[in-house]
Structure 1
Amino acid sequence: LLWSTYAPQLYFGIKPRLPKSLTSGLLWFGLNDWEGLQRIHHTTSSSPPHESGLESYTYTSHIPRVGNTQRLLDSRNKLRVDTSFVNLNDGKDWGARVEMNGEEDTRMSGIWYISLEGEGGLRLVEQEDEEEGLTSPIVLLGNTPDLGSFRIVLTEHADANPITTGHKANLFSPSHGKVSYAGASVPESDLWRAKDIVATLLSNKAQSLANQFSTSTPANSQDLPDPAFVLGRSLGNQREAFQSNFWAFQFSSQGKGGWDVSMVLILPSPVLSFRPLSAPAISNSLSTLLSLFSTHFSSHLPIPPTSPYSSPSHLAFAQEVTSNLLGGIGYFHGRSLIDRSFAHEYDDTPELEEGEVGGVQEMEERGLLTATPSRSFFPRGFYWDEGFHLLVVGEWDNDLSLEILKSWVDLIDEDGWVGREQILGEEARSKVPSEFQVQYPTNANPPTLTMAVTSFISRLKAVESSNLLSAQLGLPPSFPANSKYLSSPTEARSYLLSIYPALRRHYLWFRRTQKGQLKEWGRKPPSRMESYRWRGRTEHHVLTSGLDDYPRALPPHVGELHVDLMCWMGFFARTMGEIAEYLGEEVEDDLEEYRRNEGNVVKNIEALHWSEEDQMYCDATVDDDDESTFVCHAGYISLFPFLTGLLPPSSPHLGPVLDLMRDPEKLWSDYGIRSLSKDHPLFGQGENYWRGPIWMPFNYMALSSLYKIYMPHPGPHQARAKEIYTELRANLIENIFKEYQSTGYVWEQYDALTGEGSRSHPFTGWTSLVAMSE
């Protein structure tokens, strides 16, 4: 897990899980006209094809420990770009491949750049004749404190078709088939702006070449060489210094092109060998990857052959959706912005500790391994998205999910707080509107990271149960070969002990900072300890809840109680109890506390949030007479006790909840459960983010609760739970699949009336849960 495509915001970017190190990446553009330079592809885009030129981009396979393959369709340039990455030598080395295939007359230029941030060096091994460009293979030698010495070799494919024909082609004949290049010394803070750096290098040289052929005679002013020769050679074989920290290599071709890149550590040796990693070695590794991927998918996310979704097209869809979630995993490093003194209008002003400074401050540099919600629109860490991501990642690679979870847990500070968005460094901030860049240590987010812990413990118990059965049958125990933690109870216990203190601080932080008011407004539920209110709300938004514009109390009031946060805290207590139960006597006092708290939450949900008149669970607020009153907006909020599994199967309130969910005039649709009731006055109004559109995470939670709680356990609605489960699962899979087939993407949300994908795309964060819906 050292190397991977950990720069998901790029179409193809390779970097290690190291704070400052080596980054490699791809840029490309068309050479058929002079506008190519204005349309360089590098950073992922969610713009429609008529603006971006890209019809789709999708990972077709991905095993993070092994490698990945990706398909990019560039409709503007009539070009298909295929990228591949493979880990070699137990992940110490790597190989990459870029293949560009277009129509016969398609001319294109691909650029591979390599930048080095931090200490170390990177230099080009000189060739005898570089005046007209470099010949393949191209070798760079480098070193960093973390990696040691290494060599990078770029080898153009033998079947790449050089551009040799066009206006004034003879003037460029010495450079046909050669690679244009440039080396530059770039300020470390600007290295992430690779596209800007390359565009400047290209445009400067292109202008210089164009000037050579321009004359003052108007009749001849347009008598320029074919753009393929000017733009395709416009890196210009230049270097600012013998050793630069940014190198770019330009491969231009017609119809077909491509190259391999290999990075190999150099072990101490009296003789350094510059032989590139062979193309067959990369090809063999890719063949192994594809074979492993198919086998891995069938064993970890199987689709039964009897399933209506077992067709080749459905299988490819599920594999690509899963691969894109894994391809969205990135490593980010930098400083985030916080303000410890700020408070929203309806919150108390924080008291600063001695020595703390108010106003916006930069935190110390931190690193984070995270699965991003959307490579194009949200290429950064989102706290509450991550819990859903890790449900899929955990099934695919248990130990990888625990690496990501630990990376987040390490961000929990001494008070128990962690920022809901991790915007680390200038590159990450460049994708975020300024009003959302600062994080506030009084603000929470749904504690979904605990989902990853629950899933891990569930897998542990499954292994233990299997081995108990084996022992009863006189068979030896068996453990998953590909998981350190599932194959060793000692390692599993050690891991849980390592994250437990921070998670407990986090749990207690929620109880302390998000506590709701009871006695101030004469509320007398069974427990005086369990009531909660999201801090950080404005008049029309509660961003901290994750359900940004979902209707809440108007006007806002400090006496509000939020049923979704109450349920999240019950879920959190249950998860902490599961950890404590597994760890046993070392935390047995905590176990009693968690179980007591969960029980009190369940009681208070009924006492504080069930409206008998409205027959639904509701928020609460305080009216003009200082009396506690319900705030009922039928939608996801109304389902929360059911979604989080805190509503017992025997509850008399389960029937009304299922009625609300299944009513087509309210929440039910042929495409999934709507976020707000169809008959609500605010349905589809205003920002319309959580005011009707269908979201995958809550639909998944509904399916999970139905399948794990309300279908298997006896109760008056057991048969109905199975009916709803079967129908809801079909609606979700069929609609998301249909939209994927139609648009080439999965989406952030789906229209409440038509099922069409909307908002950001590709959104293979939590929408990839569809691959688990079977």
Structure 2
Amino acid sequence: MTRKNDTTRLRKKPVKLEEENDRVGKKKAKESPMSIYTLGVILSLIGAGIFLFLRMRAQESVKTPLNAPRVIKERSSSMPLAPHDAERFWGTYRSQLYFGMRTKYPTSPLFGLMWFDQFVGQGMPAVRHWCNQGDRLPRYGWLAHDGVNFGSQEIVDHRYIMMTDFVKRQGGSHGGDWTARFSLRPVPGQEKTVMSLLFYSVLQGQGKLTPEIVKNRLVAIHGSTEDLGSFTLRFPKSASNVKKTNFLTTYSPVVDQLKEVMMSRMLLENYEKGSKQSYIALGGHRMPPDFDGEPNFVVHQVTVSLPFEMEVVFESGSFKDRPNSLSGDTLTSELSKYHSHFDGKFENVFQLGKKNFGGHEVLLAKAALSNMVGGIGYWYGQSLVQSKYNEKPVEYWPAPLYSAVPSRSFFPRGFLWDEGFHNLLISKWDPEISKEIIGHWLDLMNQEGWIPREQILGDEARAKVPAEFVVQKNENANPPTLFLPLKLLIADLIKSEKAKDHDYLQAVFPRLKTWFNWFNVTQTGPIPFTYRWRGRDSETKRELNPKTLTSGLDDYPRASHPTDDEYHVDLRCWMAFAAGILADIAKSLGEPHEEYKATYDILTNNDLLDKLHWDPVTERYADYGLHSNKVKLEKPKPPKNIKQGQTPPSPQHLEKVRVTKVEPKNQFVDSFGYVSLFPFLLQIIEPTSPKLGKILTDLRNEKMLWTNHGLRSLAKIAPLYNKYNTEHDGPYWRGPIWININFLAVRALNYYSTNEGPYKDQARSIYVDLRKNLIDNVLKEYKRTGFIWEQYDDATGHGKGSHPFTGWSALVVAIMAEEY
């Protein structure tokens, strides 16, 4: 067999080289598809892995803090407070309450006041707790508040007037003591009023509350928490007019429903022996069914006839050398001392007496400032955020915020663009408070450089916000108004020789740079040196002009049909302003500043600005985009194809939709108003520019923006002046007068009236008249209504919108003081 096989093998013809190569090639050809396929699979897997990795990084990026040192250092709860921290550790930081106290620590115990009238109607009483426009109180607000040590507030309810006063005393290692006093007197004709005051303490985290009850009366609450150590809250016995005392010790799983928990534990009791009247009382020790834990919510109730006065005394366990109790005559003396100091400081800072303002005007100004600083709150929690890489909202990292609020009743939370205006006033009163607020906002920056524009932190804050406004999207900006107070602050910080001031600039600068870069990456326009607000809805059919919430000017008319090709003059001006401040900070720190200076020079170049945003037809600055003035809201016609047996919908039941009568085209947006003024408002127009003269002439024209109450937001000749944006959404920035933009206008007029140019005298004349109109109208409305308002009607000057609105409307104080 072996030989035969060998012979057979030898008899085969020799294989030619070409045939061998062909055979090998065919073999390789058979093997190659498998090799290419394997390589393709490997490369695909690598690509998919890289894609998934990058996508995961993008998904995480929106909720990842910026990798830079924090401006506000985190405090360890186990360490005693530094003196500068202790001074502002306690405060009226529960902005949404008529009266509440807490510390600037995430799990601080919360203290607050509730009250209600007895013997009024049937059913549950109307309990006051959170500031609520639905309560329809004739007036309430701080009359004096220094932001640190004390405050005095007047609350006018329908049957009585209540004063809430508090004073702090430093001592120990946990922020010291404080005492609150509540004094009530009846309004004329209501002398027989009987009402109940309720003061409570509730824990947010770990800790203990132990009530001290003597003869069925709650005389004190003894507590301890990680951040406060031990403390006592005492309820000294009131001198007279006390009818009944009651208490409640229970457990509340959440802090945003304390009123509801308390009301569910109420009982009816006999008011007096032999009386047929019953009064509403707390039910004593009442824990939830099947709950065997410790109480975390303790309430003291005192039912009284008027007049009446009550004190609540908080004493820190670490305050070992306390000279006496901060109550009674001692409290009265301390209140008097702080009132006197407040009045002296107020005149020193704002000098209204020297400017010949009278008593009523000064009282308004003090109330406006006091409500601004008295409305500063502290929150801790997580925002809900979303990027285009996240299918669903995700939680931001847990973070604190110390911030003023626009309105205690309607907007008791932090708003980014409001905060810049707030601190124009706060920085004049107390620069340290302002620096801390700005630091808190900058510490909310993620690694992209984005700051969520609305901060809804914690259960109490979230309970006040409609669901559709809770999620913040990382493509959406807000005007970088923090640069407004920074312009005022850095002048002093640069000159300061204090190490802490230099350290502050060093801390904020990296975050400001990152923020500025984020705008230049995410908010750029379609052509060089233009900018575009993101977040407009191009698909909506309900809105007459799709809102631009991110600009802060909400329904102010922009291009009627949003596209990626539009660009906005106000955002360009904000970026110019920010670039100039960054150049100043960088130069003062010895950092490279040339790039910011070059950006500032380009964005303030009047020739380039005019080329991009000056409409030669209307002779005004304007946005540019796909636009038509011929749009209307109309009831849609009922559908024609109605199946047999179906009833066609009635036209009046169909919601109005937008109808475009003339097709839009790319053009300047013909809507003269606040947006048109931004090159003037932020002082980018040269004092010698003829365009400044045209703007000043238009300002003073009563058919345009001028009224006897301030500058209206949209000219009377504008197509959408006072038009509803949907069938149900009334005009917001389409006519009413807003104090923040009027402040910028007065500030700009002051600038142009003090810089050489052909329009100097014209600017001065308008400045004098506009300043007077604003002051007179805010004062008139405060006298008439008891409140400072969100906006003012351009026809009557009457206050409109939410109230009290002592956010940027409080800038009337700076206008009075001529502090710009």
Letter in 2 for 1:62: H
Give the AA of the match of 2:424: L
Q: What CA RMSD, in Å, does the superposition of the two structures yield over aligned residues?
A: 2.3
Question: The residue matched to 2:138 in structure 1 has which SS?
Answer: strand
Name the counterpart of 1:3: 90
1:259 counterpart SS class: strand
Counterpart of 2:731 (choices 688, 707, 714) is: 688
Checking the alignment, whether the CA contact within 8 Å between 1:337 and 1:361 is kept in structure 2 is: yes
The verdict on how the C-alpha distance between 1:617 and 1:318 changes in structure 2, with shifts beyond 3 A counting, is same
Secondary structure of the 2:537 match is coil
**Residue of structure 2 equivalent to 1:399:** 432
Corresponding residue of 1:255 = 306
Partner SS state of residue 97, structure 1: strand
Secondary structure in 1 matching 2:301: strand
Where 2:295 maps in the other structure, the secondary structure is coil
SS of residue in 1 equivalent to 2:164: strand
CA distance in 2: counterparts of 1:99 and 1:115, whole angstroms: 23
After superposition, the Cα gap between the structure-2 partners of 1:274 and 1:492, relative to the gap in structure 1 and judged at 3 Å, is closer
Aligned 1:234-633 pairs, distance under 5 A: 234-240=281-287, 243-267=294-318, 277-307=326-356, 310-341=357-388, 352=389, 357-460=390-493, 464=495, 488-518=497-527, 528=528, 530-539=529-538, 540-583=546-589, 585=590, 587=591, 589=592, 591-603=593-605, 604-622=608-626, 629-633=667-671
Q: 1:376 to 1:614 in 2, by over 3 A?
A: same
CA apart distance, 1:236 = 3.2
Q: CA deviation at 1:36?
A: 7.8
Q: Please report how far the alpha carbon of residue 150 of structure 1 lies from its aligned counterpart in structure 2 after TM superposition.
A: 1.2
Superposition deviation, residue 243 in structure 1: 4.7
Is residue 2:132 matched to residue 1:99?
Answer: no
Letter in 2 for 1:685: K
| Deviation for aligned residue 1:721 | 0.7
User: Hey, what does 1:767 align to over in structure 2?
Assistant: 809
How far apart, in 1, do the equivalents of 2:181 and 2:775 lie? 33
Q: Which amino acid aligns with 1:329?
A: I
CA distance in 2, matches of 1:503, 1:609: 27
Could you tell me how far 1:731 is from its partner in structure 2?
Answer: 0.4
Displacement, 1:755?
0.9
Contact residue 493 and residue 502 of structure 2 kept, 8 A: no
Q: Which amino acid aligns with 1:636?
A: Y
Segments of structure 2 that go 5 or more residues without pairing to the other structure are 1-87, 539-545, 629-662, 725-729
Counterpart check, 1:736 vs 2:738: no
Is contact 1:2–1:92 with CA below 8 Å preserved after alignment?
Answer: no
**Correspondence for 2:257:** 193
Matching residue within 200, 215, 220 for 1:113: 200
Question: Which of 713, 718, 723 is equivalent to 2:755?
Answer: 713
The CA deviation at 1:281 is 2.3
Percent identity over the alignment is: 37
The 8 Å contact of residues 559 and 627 in structure 2, kept in 1 or not, is answered as: no
Matched, 1:63 2:146: yes
In structure 2, what is the Cα distance between the partners aligned to 1:274 and 1:295? 27
SS of the residue corresponding to residue 123 of structure 1 reads strand
User: What is the letter of the counterpart of residue 251 of structure 1?
Assistant: V
User: For residues 599 and 157 of structure 1, what CA distance do their matches in structure 2 show?
Assistant: 67
Please say which of residues 676-685 and 191-200 is displaced more in the overlay: 191-200
Q: Is the 8 A contact 1:124 1:243 kept in 2?
A: no
SS in 2 for 1:639: helix
> Cα offset for 1:434?
1.3
Say which SS state the counterpart of residue 166 (structure 2) adopts: strand
Structure 1 CA distance for aligned equivalents of residues 309 and 265 of structure 2: 22
Residue 597 of structure 1 aligns to which amino acid in structure 2? T
Q: Is the 8 A contact 1:740 1:746 kept in 2?
A: yes
Distance across 1 between alignment mates of 2:348 and 2:815: 16
Do the aligned partners of residues 196 and 626 (structure 1) sit closer, same or farther apart at CA in structure 2, a change above 3 Å counting? closer
Instruction: Letter of the 2:363 partner, please give it.
Output: A
2:236 maps to 1:162? no
- Asked if 1:31 corresponds to 2:85, the answer is no
- Counterparts in 2 of 1:274 and 1:317: CA distance versus 1, 3 Å: closer
CA 1:121–1:660: 2 relative to 1, 3 Å: same
Q: Relative to structure 1, is the Cα distance of residues 118 and 85 closer, same or farther in structure 2, using a 3 angstrom cutoff? A: same
What is the CA–CA distance in structure 1 between the aligned matches of 2:783 and 2:594, rounded to whole Å?
50
Deviation at 1:277, TM superposition (A): 4.0
Query: What's the secondary structure of 2:771's corresponding residue?
Result: helix
User: Which residue is equivalent to 2:101?
Assistant: 14
SS of residue paired to 1:156: coil
- Structure 1 residue runs of 5 or longer lacking an equivalent are 164-175, 214-222, 342-351, 465-485, 519-527
Measure the CA separation in 1 of the matches of 2:807 and 2:517. 28
Q: Please tell me whether the aligned partners of residues 123 and 242 of structure 1 are also in contact (alpha carbons under 8 angstroms).
A: no
Paired letter, 2:157: D
Whether contact under 8 Å (1:251, 1:258) holds in the other structure is: no
1:37 Cα shift? 3.6
Contact 1:153 1:276 in 2 (8 A): no
Contact (CA 8 Å) 2:99, 2:113: kept in 1 or not? yes
Note closer, same or farther for the CA distance 1:312–1:652 as it changes in structure 2 (3 Å cut). Answer: same
Q: Does the CA contact (< 8 Å) of 2:265 and 2:286 recur in 1?
A: no
TM-score normalised by length of structure 1: 0.83
Match of 1:701 among 727, 744, 748: 744
Q: Could you give the per-residue CA deviations for residues 74-117 of structure 1, whole angstroms, max 9, x where no partner exists? A: 11xx1111101111125422111111222431111100011111
Measure, in 2, the Cα distance between the counterparts of 1:81 and 1:727. Answer: 38
Residue 156 to residue 259, structure 1, CA distance change in 2 (3 Å):
farther
Moved more, 564-573 or 422-431: 422-431
1:650 aligns with 2:688: yes
Per-residue Cα deviation, 1:176-232 (whole angstroms, up to 9, x for no partner): 5xx211101222xx1232211221112xx22xx48999xxxxxxxxx97323xx22x
The structure-2 alpha-carbon separation of the partners of 1:627 and 1:255, relative to structure 1 and needing over 3 Å to count, comes to closer
Q: Take 1:664 and 1:537, find their aligned partners in 2: how far apart are those partners?
A: 31
Hey, what does 1:724 align to over in structure 2?
Answer: 766
Taking the aligned partners of 2:170 and 2:294, their CA distance within structure 1 comes to: 28
Q: Please give the per-residue CA displacement for 1:143-171, whole angstroms capped at 9, x wherever unaligned.
A: 1111111111111332x3123xxxxxxxx
What is the CA deviation profile of residues 537-569 of structure 1, one whole-angstrom value per residue up to 9, with x for unaligned ones? 125200001111111112212100100100011
Where 2:265 maps in the other structure, the secondary structure is helix
Q: CA deviation at 1:305?
A: 3.3
Distance 1:692 1:276 in 2: 54
Give the 3-state SS of the residue equivalent to 1:773 in structure 2. helix
Counterpart CA distance in 1 for 2:104 and 2:230 is: 17
The one-letter amino acid paired with 1:538 is: D
Matches within 5 A, 1:120-159: 120-127=207-214, 129-130=215-216, 133-134=217-218, 138-158=219-239
- What SS does structure 2 have at the residue aligned with 1:112? strand
- Secondary structure of 1:681 counterpart: coil
What's the offset of the Cα at 1:655?
0.7
Tell me, in whole angstroms, the C-alpha distance in 1 between the residues paired with 2:170 and 2:803.
Answer: 35
